[in-house]
């Protein structure tokens, strides 16, 4: 491993007021691909996800279902949120729940520490609050309602009226951190990505920050304030702390938990949806500054998944369960499509027809068919044994050069969270291999005994190139690449696929002649016409 500090990547923790949809899966898959890629770079990695289980929204949803909030959370976490991680093949190292003892204890330690500073004080709050956002709003945040909400001010994200609150709470002195935050973002240009997100945050801070209530007196479902049990910690000032409570914040010095915190924090990447950017790029760093803790390296705000032009949302009946798509296309295709077809950081529209077209052209006819043809020819012409190559032609050397360029381009893009470019670089190399097969015509070489040496070289080149594809696509498509690794007979000679260093993948000649090559079933079987397929319902 390269050093003691882990590469720490997090997803936001997700509200458990409803079941997960593909918007949640999109964020988690991005975190998973990033984590897997860094593991293949030989780095220690810690990948965290989890659930946010406190606040008004969860409390009311539980009441609507006539159950206690804890029972509601337990059921959804075990029956919906954890299972979806298996459905999408997430490799998270930890799963944090805000109702867990370790989180509650860490939250109370944090705010108990800040209570003795100038940054926490008692005061009165009166103003609008969006329960769906769990956010205190200001008038400038709201828009005019339409339809049944005409004449009312509504949340621009959820399109529903806000509630007016009047409470005596404890406040966090956010206003004290405007200059420090601006200085931090001026000296650390990569602290918020993409650039559009950074510009938005800087503009927001320059308008001036107001102190914000860090507790709620009218809510009972939350972490009690350690000095005032009539109040609970405001859900965002509770939830944001998951990133440190999960890795041992506040643990006894010298304990394994304290060592874990020392070796993991600060986070390298917080992945968030753009609608929760302000919480992560304004509230969170200010909290850390107040506690004299290091700030995360990067907060990356990705765009929304859109259905019918609207943000993915259960409340608007545009939420699609991941299983509705994965049951048809498979988890690898799901992971591939959303990171390949949408520029991470921008909004992107989900289309069943577009996914079907890309699945057919790039995965079934491109990658999958190439694997089937290559392994079948080794079986037919070399009895399933990878042959010894002879002298390399210019075409062989050109493919090797393309392979090295693809790996370098993919690595540079993936570590910058430019998944579309990184995955695209590997896909372009798959295309180059297919062109090589077409031009070299191994089936024609097999008919001419005088071309036996050339045939063996061509087949070796194809299979060695596929070894590289298996390594480079493994973070994105773990199941199909693992199957390919087995069909190339690679593991007995090279070891597990997940342990192959991605930076070394372009070094030619690693797959040894004599490896047992097998054909197997199609990695990406051709599917029925999308017009006849049962498309996922958004209701």
Active site residue 24: yes
Report how far Cα 451 is from the mean position of its chain's Cα atoms.
48
Catalytic residue among 155, 382, 463, 473: 155
d(CA 89, CA 28): 10
Exposure pattern of 91-121 as b/e (b: 16+ CB <10 Å)? bbbebbbbbbebbbbbbbbbbeebeeeebbe
pLDDT for res 311? 62
pLDDT per position as a tens digit, 350-375: 889 999 999 999 999 999 999 999 99
Phi, psi of 174 (to 5 degrees): -65, -30
* Beta-carbon count within 10 A of 122 CB: 11
Q: Which residues contact 267 (CB under 8 A, 6 or more apart)?
A: 8, 9, 10, 243, 296, 297
16, 21, 23, 27 alpha-carbon torsion, rounded to 10°? 60
Q: Is 328 a catalytic residue?
A: no
Between β-strands 224-225 and 269-273, what pairing exists: parallel, antiparallel or unpaired?
unpaired
Q: Is 38 a catalytic residue?
A: no
State in Å, rounded, how far the first CA of the chain is from the last one. 47
**pLDDT digits 0-9 by tens, 23-72:** 999 999 999 999 999 999 999 999 999 999 998 889 988 999 999 999 99
Query: Rounded to whole angstroms, what are the CA distances from 333 to 181, 470, 536?
Result: 40, 15, 16
Respond yes or no: is residue 493 known to be catalytic: no
Give the 3-state secondary structure of residue 203: helix
| Per annotation, catalytic residue among 130, 173, 270, 473 | 130
Please give the full DSSP string across 238-255, using - where no structure is assigned. Answer: HHTTHHHHTTTTTPPTTS
Contact 51, 73 (CB under 8 A): yes
Return the SS3 of 210.
coil
Would you call 535 a catalytic residue per the annotation? Answer: no
Query: DSSP string covering 121-152, please?
Result: EEEEEEEEEETTTTEE--GGG-EE--GGGTTS
By the 8 A CB rule, do 421 and 409 touch? yes
3-state secondary structure of 269: strand
Q: Is 280 in the active site?
A: no
Burial of 529 (0-12, 13-18, 19+ CB in 10 A): exposed
Are 87 and 94 within 8 A, CB to CB? no
The one catalytic residue in 73, 133, 382, 463 is: 133
Of the residues 57, 274, 311, 474, which is catalytic?
A: 311
Q: What is the DSSP letter of 516?
A: B
Catalytic residue among 21, 270, 274, 474: 21
Q: How many CB atoms lie within 10 A of CB 65?
A: 11
158-162: list long-range contacts, CB under 8 Å, 24+ apart: 158/130, 158/132, 158/133, 158/313, 158/315, 159/316, 160/130, 160/132, 160/315, 162/128, 162/129, 162/130, 162/137
311 noted as active-site residue? yes
Preceding peptide of 321 cis, ω within 30°: no
Provide the pairing of β-strand 212-213 with 192-193.
Answer: unpaired
Which residue(s) pair with 228 in the sheet?
Answer: 225
**Angstrom distance (rounded) from CA 110 to CA 381:** 67
Distance of alpha carbon 301 from alpha carbon 201, whole angstroms: 11
Q: How far apart, in whole angstroms, are the C-alpha atoms of residue 446 and residue 140?
A: 73
Identify the active-site residue in 5, 82, 158, 479: 158
Q: What's the confidence (pLDDT) of residue 259?
A: 96
Please say if 184 is a catalytic residue: no
pTM passes above 0.75: yes
Low-confidence stretches of the chain (pLDDT < 50) are: 1-3, 314-317, 530-533, 537-539
């Amino acid at each position: 491993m390269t050093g003691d500090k882990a590469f720490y990547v997090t997803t936001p923790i997700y509200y458990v007021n409803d079941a997960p949809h593909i918007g949640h899966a999109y964020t988690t898959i991005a975190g998973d691909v990033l984590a897997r890629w860094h593991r293949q770079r030989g780095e220690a990695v810690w990948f965290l996800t989890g659930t946010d289980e406190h606040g008004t929204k969860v409390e009311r949803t539980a009441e609507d279902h006539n159950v206690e909030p804890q029972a509601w959370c337990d059921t959804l976490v075990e029956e919906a949120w954890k299972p979806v991680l298996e459905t999408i093949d997430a490799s998270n190292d930890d799963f944090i729940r805000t109702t867990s003892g370790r989180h509650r204890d860490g939250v109370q330690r944090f705010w108990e520490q800040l209570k003795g500073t100038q940054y926490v004080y008692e005061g009165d709050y009166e103003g609008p609050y969006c329960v769906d956002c769990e956010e205190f709003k200001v008038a400038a945040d709201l828009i005019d309602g339409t339809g049944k909400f005409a004449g009312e001010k509504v949340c621009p994200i959820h399109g529903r009226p806000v509630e007016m609150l009047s409470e005596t709470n404890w406040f966090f002195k956010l206003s004290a951190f405007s200059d420090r935050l601006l200085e931090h973002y001026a000296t650390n240009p990569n602290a918020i990505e993409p650039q559009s997100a950074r510009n938005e945050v800087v503009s927001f801070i320059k308008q001036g920050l107001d102190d914000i209530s860090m507790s709620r007196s009218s809510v009972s479902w939350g972490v009690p304030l350690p000095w005032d049990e009539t109040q609970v910690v405001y859900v965002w000032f509770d939830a944001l702390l998951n990133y440190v409570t999960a890795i041992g914040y506040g643990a006894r010095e010298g304990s394994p938990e304290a060592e874990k915190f020392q070796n993991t924090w600060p986070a390298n990447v917080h992945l968030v949806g753009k609608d929760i950017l302000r919480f992560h790029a304004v509230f969170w760093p200010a909290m850390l500054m107040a506690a004299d803790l290091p700030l995360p390296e990067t907060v990356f705000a990705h765009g929304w998944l859109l259905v019918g032009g609207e943000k993915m949302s259960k409340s608007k009946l545009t939420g699609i369960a991941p299983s509705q798509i994965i049951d048809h296309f498979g988890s690898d295709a799901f992971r591939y499509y959303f990171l390949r077809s949408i520029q991470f950081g921008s909004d992107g529209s989900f289309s069943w027809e577009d996914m079907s077209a890309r699945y057919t052209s790039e995965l079934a006819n491109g990658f999958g068919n190439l694997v089937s043809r290559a392994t079948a020819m080794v079986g037919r012409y070399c009895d399933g044994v990878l042959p010894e190559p002879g002298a390399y032609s210019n075409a062989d050397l050109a493919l090797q050069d393309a392979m090295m360029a693809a790996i370098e381009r993919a690595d540079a893009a993936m570590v910058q969270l430019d998944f579309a470019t990184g995955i695209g670089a590997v896909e372009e190399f798959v295309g180059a291999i297919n062109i090589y097969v077409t031009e070299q015509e191994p089936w024609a070489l097999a008919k001419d005994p005088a071309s036996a040496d050339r045939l063996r070289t061509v087949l070796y080149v194809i299979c060695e190139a596929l070894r590289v594809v298996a390594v480079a696509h493994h973070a994105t498509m773990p199941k199909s690449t693992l199957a390919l690794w087995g069909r190339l007979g690679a593991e007995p000679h090279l070891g597990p696929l997940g342990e192959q260093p991605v930076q070394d993948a372009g070094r030619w000649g690693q797959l040894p002649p004599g490896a047992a090559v097998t054909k197997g079933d199609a990695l990406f079987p051709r599917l029925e016409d999308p017009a006849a397929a049962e498309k996922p319902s958004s209701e």
